[in-house]
Amino acid sequence: MSDLKDDQPDNRAIETGNTEKRPPVSYAGIVYGDIIYWGTLAGAFVVLLGSVITFTTTNNYLDPSYMLSSLLDGKSVAEIWQGAEGIGAAPDGHWYLTVLGTGNGLTMLGIAMGVFSVTPAIFASAYFLFTDGDKLFATVAAVAGLITIYAMF
Amino acid sequence: MPLLIKRIPELSLLIFGTVAVYISIGLLSELNDTNILTADGAWALVVGSFLMSFVIAIVAVIGGVGGGVLFTPVMLGFTSMDSLLVRSTGLVVAMFSGLVSSGPFMRKGLADIRIVFYCAIPIIIGAMMGAQVAISMADSMGEAGDALVRLLLGFILVFIAVMFIMGGSKNEYPKRKFIDKISEKMNLTSAYYEESLGKNIYYQAVRVLPGGLLFLVVGFTGGFFGLGGGWAVVPVLNLVMTVPLKVSAASSGVLLAMGNAAAIWPYIMKGALIASFAAPWMLGQVVGGIIGAHVLSKINAGFVRNILIVLLLMTSVKLISRGIEGYFGIDVPIL
């Protein structure tokens, strides 16, 4: 910088490609993003497996032909589950965990995996914020993580 | 695109897997014909859902909105599907492209993890409340509730379309005029590297308390209507909290994935999310979200936004007319 005259614009950054040093990227952020990215992708592959079983076998908790027809027919959630053979009522809780051997159960597990990946990502990120000395935001992150766990029950 | 698939092997595997699965389903389907849908029609519905979701994910990334803003109103306006099912699937559409883009945005240093965590608390709480109210309303009001949802959503869409038409008054590098005491204590300062200028942009988020309250409302709207909320999160971060536009947009995707993740659990646990219907929409968002983020720079965003505005206005008219018909019993001869 010292060899520039006062009225001379500093175009060296653009001309030479030498630019200001980039600020460090938060490791807590990288950990958060990577856990979610891979958790979502893993969930997507489980959804693919569940979809194959749902539509190419009869191993289902909720018959897909009946389900798709009911959806297009404008039936409500309650009506769809009440009219489903062998079920008779809408499920409660993490019902898919009890029917993981079926296509619907596996498909829902895949979706749930993507959704759930947020929770470990938040806590992992909170840990690295804490080790970085950012105790306030580590606590904020942990609170956010606890609320997402509460949402699951 | 071939280079992109080569650079991201997991994307190649996912695309290959999806194509293989849908071909297998077409060839080996155990679906039955029903009064409403033939087996071939059901297969076409599933594959069509995936393709539509893929297009929505790319258009949403380019247009700067969440997929939920496109999916939920169109499905509620132009199909007779139950509104609770549409809204729960809308949350899936809204969140999954945000989930896969979290990684790249964090690695580029564009999304600010501290701002995300601060804003996450009100948005998660709001989203959970919105989801619970949606489910309770569906249980207690039935079809009248459905009509009311359509009516309210129609008005919100008009508001969003007007925001887009007005240009959103976005500020790339907002200047803060003052720092309130709470913002000063929280010290939400950071920097990111602006490639176009070749320098670092330093910023500090202000008005954290009003921002937090607004996020409570945004979260509620997203959880209740299944919209996501990107159309509101970016203006709150950018215009209220003076966060640079790029950081606002990147943080918005990460933040909404977090908020919607909390909102979706009540729907899952009450059986209001039908996995086999939501699955192709989820896959389309994951594939489209990864590709959309990479092709963003090559597409004319202005053209896409104009199409979005027209679509939003058309859908809002349809939703309002259906809402009036359903709730007040008045026939509206539109569309």
**Per-residue model confidence as pLDDT tens digits over A61-107:** 888 889 988 998 889 888 999 998 888 888 888 999 999 999 999 99
Confidence class for position A38, pLDDT limits 50, 70, 90: very high
Residue B172 has pLDDT above 50, yes or no: yes
- Give contacts of B29 with chain A, Cβ < 8 Å: 55-56
pLDDT, residue A100, reads 92
> What is the secondary structure of B22-74 as a DSSP string?
HHHHHHH------SS--HHHHHHHHHHHHHHHHHHHHHHHHHTS-HHHHHHHH
Select the residue from A45, A115, A131 to test the B interface by mutation, using most B Cβ atoms within 10 A.
A115
pLDDT value for A3: 41
Q: What is the spatial distance between Cα A22 and Cα A24, in angstroms, rounded to a whole number?
A: 6
% pLDDT > 70, chain B: 90
User: A94 and B269: CB-CB below 8 Å?
Assistant: yes
Nearest to A37 among B80, B100, B109 (CB): B100
- Contacts with A147 from chain B: Cβ below 8 Å: 121, 124-125, 128, 262
User: B178: distance to nearest CA of chain A, Å?
Assistant: 23
| Contact (CB<8Å) B271/A140 | no
Return the residue of A nearest to B116 by Cα: A141
Contact: A90, B120; criterion CB under 8 Å = no
Confidence of residue A15 (pLDDT cuts 50, 70, 90): very low
Min mean pLDDT across A16-20, A86-90, B7-11, B16-20 is at A16-20
Inter-chain touch A71–B46, beta carbons under 8 Å: no
N-term to C-term CA, chain B: 38
Q: Is B123 exposed, middle or buried (0-12, 13-18, 19+ CB in 10 A)?
A: buried
Tens-digit pLDDT profile for residues B306-334: 777 888 888 888 888 888 888 888 887 76
- Greatest alpha-carbon pair distance for chain A in Å reads 85
Closest chain A C-alpha to B167 CA, distance in angstroms: 30
Chain A, 60 to 89: residues with Cβ < 8 Å from chain B are 62, 64-69, 71-78, 80-81
Give me B303's structure tokens: 């053209």
pLDDT per position as a tens digit, B38-51? 888 888 999 999 99
For B258-321, the three-class secondary structure string (H helix, E strand, C coil) is: HHHHHHHHHHHHCCCCCHHHHHHHHHHHHHHHHHHHHHHHHCCHHHHHHHHHHHHHHHHHHHHH
Chain A hits for B18, Cβ within 8 Å: 48
A142: confidence class by pLDDT, cuts 50, 70, 90: very high
Average pLDDT over residues B2-18: 82
pLDDT at B50: 94
pLDDT at B143: 81
Domain ranges of chain A: 26-63+98-151
Q: Give me the pLDDT at residue A126, please.
A: 96
Asked if ipTM goes beyond 0.90, one says: no
Give pLDDT, residue B167: 62
For B106-149, how does the pLDDT look when each residue is reduced to its tens digit (9 = 90+)?
A: 888 888 899 999 999 999 999 889 989 988 988 888 888 888 88
Mean per-residue pLDDT for B248-277?
A: 88
pTM of this prediction? Answer: 0.85
Contact B274 A67 (CB under 8 A): yes
Mean pLDDT of A104-131: 95
For residue A41, what pLDDT is reported? 92
Q: What is the pLDDT of residue B151?
A: 87
Residue A140: its chain B contacts at CB < 8 A?
114, 117-118, 121
> Which of A22, A118, A140 minimises the CB distance to B121?
A140
Is B275 within 8 Å of A71 when comparing Cβ atoms?
A: no
Q: Which of B30, B270, B277 lies nearest to residue A71, judging by beta carbons?
A: B277
Mean pLDDT of chain B: 84
DSSP string, B218-265: HHHHHHHHT---HHHHHHIIIIIS---HHHHHHHHHHHHHHHHHHHHH
pLDDT at B10: 87
